[in-house]
Structure 1
Amino acid sequence: MAITLQRAGFTDFRVFEKAGDIGGVWRENTYPGAACDVPSPLYSYSYAPNRTWPRRYSEQPDILEYLRRTATKFGVLDRVRLNTEVTGAEFDTDSRRWRVETADGETFEADVLIPAVGQLSRPAVPDIPGADSFAGEMFHSAEWNHDVDLTGKRVAVIGTGASAIQFVPKIQPLAGKLTVFQRTAPYVIPKTDRNYTRWHHRVYRALPVTQLAGRVGTWGIGELLTMALTSVQPLGKLVRALFRWNLERGVPDPGLRKKLVPDYPIGCKRLLFSNDWYPALAQSNVEVETGAIEEITAEGVRTASGVHEADVIIYGTGFKATEFLAPMKIRGVGGRELATEWAGGAHAYLGISVPDFPNMFLVYGPNTNLGGNSIIFMMERQCRYIMQLLRRGSCVDVRRDVAERFDAEVQHRLAHSVWSGCSSWYREPNGRISTNWPGLVWEYHRRTAKVDFGAYREVA
């Protein structure tokens, strides 16, 4: 968003960053094996291609370096105020401005408020009885403790999501005993990864169209995958065949394979990509425990089969994805709290605008997450859309009737998608799917290409 503003000639803006550096999830997640599950030519800004990605699915250090380099290239780092946590913001109807508050007691005024905090910024740690009594080391994968040496240790991993399938294969050779506690098995399909050679880099520099072709091709495959999860679910049979092949080649033991077959429709939870997850689970020092966790004791993790002793417990339990903008307290027209507006689940027109919250525009807001493509594509479209609103130079919010019709459409479509078939981090406790976009990214591109100013009202 900052780069979009800068390129459009806007100069009076400030970015507040809670941490001591930029980078978001790629700054925070430093666990072993941290990488993106979208190929790098697509998981990058369209206006800032990187000709020297080290591999097709780049790892955390390389993505973070790309973000830093891009921010420097476009001259926005000086606009970022680090170590500044925004705790709340309130719209003043008289001045038609936002009053932004920070954790250190400072206040700032702004004509426009753009929350861009993402959906995967706050680790989710399950409330397990007895956790405080554990005698060993315990941490979440997003807060990896690199001071803990896992060599020869008894390690318990709670959770089998996108982070766990990356770090478990990396720590398995180190651990003396590794127990993976699985509540529900994920679908894991092969990852078409490879190293990029100097030859690739030379070709990408000399003929940029070759990298662009790869980007477009990956985007198209992502659209097909999205169709398999939403409107053309029979395509999911092909994805399931890939899962079965990946499982059977990686796990020779039929008993273990049975534990690793999900009991829900493919795609209902996040589809995962890995070539070494199943082989890691098949190793002699690994045990997959599917019994429900009853409590954590000083010695380890208790299930119905007894206490599984551990020296280290690692949570691979994901993030509080549906708690948009928390813990910030945002108040709109008349002091209306965003938490009240979103009491039944977060919602926003095109994932960007909320009724009674004028000139507040979200990046990566509700119902803009994807099951099969690059979120960078979505965010670029959101920035383009917001820029049209800013150029208008007025103070507007989306009409409530427009926002409600849009939300009803989105929820109706999501109710008929594969994501409605099980509980996952995509859904609120009440069953509402507040994270995912129900269609193709091409549809989102089309619907955000030009602002319908009739959908908005001027705030008096």
Structure 2
Amino acid sequence: MQPQHDVIVIGGGFSGIGAAILLDKAGFSDYLVLEEGDGVGGAWHWNTYPGVAVDIPSFSYQFSFERSSRWTRVYAPGEELKGYAEHCVQKYGLRDRIRLNSAVTGTSYDDATAQWTVSTSQGDTLTARYLVNATGVLTKPKPPAIPGLESFAGETVHTARWDHDLDLRGKRVGVIGTGASAVQLIPAIAEEVEQLTVFQRTAIWCLPKPDAALSPTTRAILGRVPGAQLLTRFASQTYVELTFPLAAHFHHPLHLASSGERLGRKALRDQVHDPAVRAKLTPQYAVGCKRPSFHNSYLSTFNRDDVHLETDPIAEITPTGVRTEAGAEYPIDVLVLATGFKVFERDNMPGFPCVSRDVDLGEWWAVNRAQAYEGVSVPGFPNMFSILGPYGYNGSSYFNLIETQMAHIVRCLTEAGKRGATAIEVKQEANDRYFASMLARRPRQVFTEESCSVANSYYFDEHGDTPFRASPTLETMWRAGHFPFEDYDFAS
């Protein structure tokens, strides 16, 4: 039995797009990309709320082999990222190998045929020799578990499913959440609404954003002057490396995160006039425990008379508004849920049933803790590879993750071809060794700070683990090209 495709890629965001391009470059052209949405771009297809933008410099947030000189800002707005996704699909001829509106509803591996069977929301089943899970984690909205939410009689919208027909002018708007999406949304709508009430559970570190418009002249220089794009990318990559991979994973020996905290506290002093409001906006945990944000007008928005910050916990949503535990009543016309996404929940990693040898991957991770060799492969799940597997992402540019993990995957597929193998499976001892190495590096990470216990951070899974790869970016790149093939079993 021959499968219908050599490879099925699950997800049409940048992970799936990058996987497809790099499979083509390596000579693996018989693949199919399955995408749940009606367009490509992943997070940038789903997230279109006012103010949405990338939170690392655009010079890093792009493929190294497809550098753009068309960004209008150092931190590109969301619509430009969506446009970049469409550009990549068009330029690299991917359109006819992407199936939209095709959510994966289940996958299963058959040892006898060394194939994966994939079921979709279209009601069909597909087969492939190899499966590449290229789903991200910032796409599935996570509604809050607040009593009475369904009873609200006004309009309700989640930031990840924004309704562009929604008119906020002259409305009393309540925003639940102060995470990264809220930090961008709140300043963008504050001038439009009549009254804005922000319900904060946990304060977020909001750091100055080194953003600026890129003039036509600047863009022309980037596009035409030899070396200009490489120089800006190098500067951008260095900045990104210092602000997360090194600061988070080498927190204790290098003390880089303390610089971020000083910047955050200075921004609070400079931008928030009312000492009581400033105290409410000041996080009680170390920078890095929770995803920080970068914005230049979020904090100052709370100086407005028509913006109120409420930190008393919500008791319930009523048909007409929000009631807090202290009994305060807030009449609301529009309720905005800026409550983030499912991340390490067992129904999101993976976001579909994934069964091999009668074992479901989500359940296996729930029992054994989330783990994957180099963040790519899991023992007992042959011919399956992940872009964003546990301990794969080190917090650098997501594009660096895509290219690094695909270098690993392509090496496996190429070696299988050389050996005439139809099945590739990471060895248990190799996985155990890698997992142990990640845990051994944990004491130097910021996530071990005692204050992280009050951060309410999605970085932590149900076991209390933070499945980030505790490595500098250069190490992740080197490992992708040099991991020993002896760590895998190749079978015909």
TM-score between both structures, scaled by the size of structure 2: 0.90
The one-letter amino acid paired with 1:89 is: T
Q: In the alignment, is the contact (CA less than 8 A) between 2:179 and 2:339 conserved in 1?
A: yes
| Mean Cα deviation higher: 228-237 or 359-368 | 228-237
The CA distance in 1 between the partners of 2:413 and 2:465, in whole Å, is: 31
Distance 1:370 1:281, change over 3 A: farther
Q: Which residue of 1 aligns with 2:302?
A: 281
1:416 Cα deviation after fit? 4.1
1:339 Cα deviation after fit? 2.1
The CA distance in 2 between the partners of 1:424 and 1:280, in whole Å, is: 24
1:81 Cα deviation after fit? 1.1
Partner SS, residue 410 of structure 1? helix
**Matching residue within 58, 69, 76 for 1:51:** 69
The CA distance in 1 between the partners of 2:295 and 2:66, in whole Å, is: 27
1:419 Cα deviation after fit? 2.2
2:203 is the alignment partner of 1:182 = no
1:343 Cα deviation after fit? 1.3
Q: In the alignment, is the contact (CA less than 8 A) between 2:261 and 2:286 conserved in 1?
A: no
The one-letter amino acid paired with 2:388 is: Y
The CA distance in 2 between the partners of 1:442 and 1:280, in whole Å, is: 39
| Mean Cα deviation higher: 227-236 or 314-323 | 227-236
Q: In the alignment, is the contact (CA less than 8 A) between 2:251 and 2:446 conserved in 1?
A: no
The CA distance in 1 between the partners of 2:304 and 2:392, in whole Å, is: 38
The CA distance in 1 between the partners of 2:239 and 2:458, in whole Å, is: 24
**Matching residue within 258, 261, 265 for 2:286:** 265
**Matching residue within 118, 131, 138 for 1:113:** 131
The CA distance in 1 between the partners of 2:413 and 2:392, in whole Å, is: 21
The CA distance in 2 between the partners of 1:437 and 1:320, in whole Å, is: 20
Q: Which residue of 2 aligns with 1:231?
A: 250
1:249-287: CA deviation from partner (whole Å, max 9, x where unpaired): 211111111111111111110111000101112211111
The CA distance in 1 between the partners of 2:310 and 2:393, in whole Å, is: 31
Runs of 4+ residues deviating >6 angstroms: none
- The 5 A counterparts of 1:306-317 are 306-317=328-339
Partner SS, residue 342 of structure 2? coil
Distance 1:222 1:327, change over 3 A: closer
The CA distance in 1 between the partners of 2:318 and 2:211, in whole Å, is: 40
**Matching residue within 157, 174, 181 for 1:156:** 174
The CA distance in 1 between the partners of 2:432 and 2:140, in whole Å, is: 28
| Mean Cα deviation higher: 309-318 or 296-305 | 296-305
The CA distance in 2 between the partners of 1:163 and 1:83, in whole Å, is: 25
- The 5 A counterparts of 1:188-337 are 188-225=206-243, 226-233=245-252, 234-305=255-326, 306-323=328-345, 324-332=348-356, 334-337=357-360
The CA distance in 2 between the partners of 1:301 and 1:380, in whole Å, is: 45
The one-letter amino acid paired with 1:183 is: R
The CA distance in 2 between the partners of 1:367 and 1:308, in whole Å, is: 43
1:297-322: CA deviation from partner (whole Å, max 9, x where unpaired): 11211112322221111111111111
2:194 is the alignment partner of 1:173 = no
The CA distance in 2 between the partners of 1:415 and 1:288, in whole Å, is: 36
Partner SS, residue 118 of structure 1? coil
Q: Which residue of 2 aligns with 1:76?
A: 94
Distance 1:114 1:155, change over 3 A: same
2:422 is the alignment partner of 1:401 = no
Q: Which runs of 5+ in 1 are unaligned?
A: none
1:326 Cα deviation after fit? 4.0
- The 5 A counterparts of 1:59-70 are 59-70=77-88
Q: Which residue of 2 aligns with 1:428?
A: 461
Q: Which residue of 2 aligns with 1:357?
A: 381
The one-letter amino acid paired with 1:360 is: M
Distance 1:300 1:416, change over 3 A: farther
The CA distance in 1 between the partners of 2:170 and 2:293, in whole Å, is: 28
The CA distance in 1 between the partners of 2:122 and 2:88, in whole Å, is: 29
1:28-86: CA deviation from partner (whole Å, max 9, x where unpaired): 00000110011111100001111121111001111111111111111112111111111
Distance 1:267 1:358, change over 3 A: same
1:415 Cα deviation after fit? 5.0
TM-score between both structures, scaled by the size of structure 1: 0.96
The one-letter amino acid paired with 1:279 is: S
Q: Which residue of 1 aligns with 2:13?
A: none
The one-letter amino acid paired with 2:282 is: V
Q: Which runs of 5+ in 2 are unaligned?
A: 1-18
Q: Which residue of 2 aligns with 1:419?
A: 447
Q: In the alignment, is the contact (CA less than 8 A) between 1:302 and 1:308 conserved in 2?
A: yes
| Mean Cα deviation higher: 418-427 or 102-111 | 418-427
The CA distance in 2 between the partners of 1:386 and 1:255, in whole Å, is: 52
Q: Which residue of 1 aligns with 2:365?
A: 342
1:338 Cα deviation after fit? 0.9
Partner SS, residue 18 of structure 1? coil
1:459 Cα deviation after fit? 4.4
1:310-365: CA deviation from partner (whole Å, max 9, x where unpaired): 11111111111113444411111x22211221114432111100111101010122
1:360-409: CA deviation from partner (whole Å, max 9, x where unpaired): 010122223344x3111111011111111111223111111211221222
1:129-172: CA deviation from partner (whole Å, max 9, x where unpaired): 11111111112100112222111111111110010000100111
2:393 is the alignment partner of 1:369 = yes
| Mean Cα deviation higher: 237-246 or 110-119 | 237-246
Q: In the alignment, is the contact (CA less than 8 A) between 2:343 and 2:349 conserved in 1?
A: no
What is the count of residue pairs matched by the alignment? 457
The CA distance in 1 between the partners of 2:114 and 2:379, in whole Å, is: 15
Distance 1:318 1:414, change over 3 A: farther
Identity %: 37
Question: What value does the CA root-mean-square deviation take over the aligned residues?
Answer: 1.5
The CA distance in 2 between the partners of 1:237 and 1:17, in whole Å, is: 41
Q: In the alignment, is the contact (CA less than 8 A) between 1:389 and 1:451 conserved in 2?
A: no
| Mean Cα deviation higher: 409-418 or 315-324 | 409-418
Q: In the alignment, is the contact (CA less than 8 A) between 2:34 and 2:102 conserved in 1?
A: yes
Q: In the alignment, is the contact (CA less than 8 A) between 1:156 and 1:310 conserved in 2?
A: yes
Q: Which residue of 1 aligns with 2:483?
A: 451
2:132 is the alignment partner of 1:132 = no
